[in-house]
Amino acid sequence: MLGAWDKCMVVEDDVFHYLDGNREVFDLALADPPYGTSASVSLVSFFLQKPFARELWLEHRWGEELGTPDIARTRRYGDTALTTLAT
């Protein structure tokens, strides 16, 4: 679609399992954890302690407290929000 498929890597694994064994820092990480779990909060906490990407784009339920720093940007789309964090 964008002509960048050969420069992308899609990982279909438990994010924490994958990141615990990974040393690479990605340009962009996209995450859409299941609603109704603590996965979004855990992922933000992990990212703040060990940045695994230059930017993290996280889809989550609007109003969910993520514990993000003031530099995070959040956009609302109905009941869904997209929060971006950068290193």
Q: Which domain holds residue 44?
A: 25-86
Indicate if the pLDDT at residue 40 is higher than 70: yes
Share of the chain above pLDDT 90, in %: 60
pTM of the prediction? 0.85
Residue 31: which CATH number? 3.40.50.150
Q: How far apart are CA 11 and CA 55, in angstroms?
A: 16
Q: Residue 31 domain-assigned? A: yes
pLDDT digits (tens, 9 = 90+) for 55-82: 999 999 999 999 888 889 999 999 999 9
Q: Residue 20 domain-assigned? A: no
Q: Residue 15 domain-assigned? A: no
Distances in whole angstroms, Cα of residue 13 to Cα of each of 1, 27, 29, 81: 24, 18, 13, 23
Residue 52 contacts residue 25 (beta carbons within 8 Å): yes
